[in-house]
Amino acid sequence: MKLLKVDSIGVRYEGSKEDVVKDISFSLNEGEVLVIFGKSGSGKTTLLKTIAGLIQPQSGQILIEGEVLEGPKDKLVPGHEEIKLVFQDFHLKSKMSVAENIHYALLAYEEEYRKQRVEELIDLCGLREVSKSFPEHISGGQKQRLALARALANEPKLLLMDEPFSNLDSITKGILFQEIKSIVRKTETSVIFVSHDARDALSFANKILVMESGEMSQFDNPNEIYNRPNSKSVAMLFGDLNKIESEYYRLESAVISDDGQYKGIVSEVMYFGSHQLLLINCDNTIIKAFDFENQYKIGDSIKLKVDRQKALNF
């Protein structure tokens, strides 16, 4: 069932000569996870805040369950009760404990329900051990889970997250990433989050909206965007490419093989633990390939097989 419809949205900041978000249209079904993806300055956060009802669009409209979402010019208190935004800086109450922070988000409800919901969210978001602690005494990952618990408190249908993992180290990020996926799946909450990390987008999303210079370059599922990007610029946002005889390939399409059709010399080796990335000089053309055996070194002769059917067609 369709939850959200974004119809020809354009946003222009006061004093600007052109839109920072240009004619964006897409829809999101219940339970889906959408990642708005692109480089810094591409308009991702502006679009997210417009969907949240915090920025007034100059053109177009946004509908949640068929109801037009009013912007801040039309509504005294910006936002929508079915949409919650998790900010990068968490917006936690520093003088309240973890449990009190969640309780505060439920002030409009009866006390019995508030207590029950707080306990549910503490368990759901893995905050039991720190429920009596104050935000300054908990880790970055726990702050993110607390911010998520607060946003989920009144059971919104759409959760918006702006670069939710940007303040976390890679280990904490990896753990929290899986936890959030599990939480949104259990609560059947639709999610839109902004990211500039291709790995996050590909592994988390049902759909990806790629933005470049305020415009939507592509909107599709992760598999289609990775394997069938509609432009070279979109393709490169999701990883390096090899250019071989005027065609572009993902790096994994070049495979080390004794019967490979390309011969070359290893010119550079980059070690990543589980594998090495090799730069191979094949008749003055540099081809990148993965070495999962970690057996090659600079100067070694090598052969590569390239599957022509995996060429990217822009």
Contact between 84 and 151 under an 8 Å Cβ cutoff? The reply is: yes
Q: Write out the two tokens for 97.
A: 């404990």
- The pTM assigned to this predicted structure is 0.89
Q: In this structure, are strands 21-29 and 33-37 parallel, antiparallel, or unpaired?
A: unpaired
Residue 236, C-beta contacts closer than 8 angstroms, at least 6 positions apart? none
At 172 the pLDDT is: 73
Specify whether the CB–CB gap between 165 and 173 falls below 8 A. Answer: yes
Residue-wise pLDDT for 262-305, tens only, equals 999 999 999 999 999 999 999 999 999 999 999 999 999 999 99
| 266 touches 280 (CB < 8 A) | yes
Question: Which residue type sits at 275?
Answer: H
Q: Distance between CA 183 and CA 142 in Å, rounded? A: 14
Second CATH level (architecture) for the domain 240-310: Beta Barrel (2.40)
Q: Residue 6: what residue type?
A: V
What is the model's pLDDT at position 100? 94
**Pairwise CA distance, residues 289 & 280, whole Å:** 8
Could you read off the pLDDT of 130-150 as tens digits, one per residue?
A: 999 999 999 888 888 898 899
**What is the four-CA torsion angle of 55, 61, 62, 64, rounded to 10 degrees?**
130
- pLDDT at residue 53 in the model: 92
Report domain extents, the chain: 2-232, 240-310
Which positions ≥6 away from 108 have C-beta within 8 Å? Answer: 154
Looking at residue 132, its pLDDT comes to 94
Q: Which residues of the chain are modeled with pLDDT < 50?
A: none
CATH class of 2-232: alpha beta
Label residue 247 exposed, middle or buried (CB < 10 Å: 0-12, 13-18, 19+).
middle
pLDDT for the residue 262: 95
Query: What is the structure's pLDDT at 10?
Result: 96
Look-up of token digits 């990883």: 239
The pLDDT assigned to 80 comes to: 83
Alpha carbons 207 and 224: distance in angstroms, whole number: 10
- Render 213-234 in DSSP notation, one character per residue: TTEEEEEE-HHHHHHS-SSHHH
CA atoms of 129 and 247, how far apart (whole Å): 54
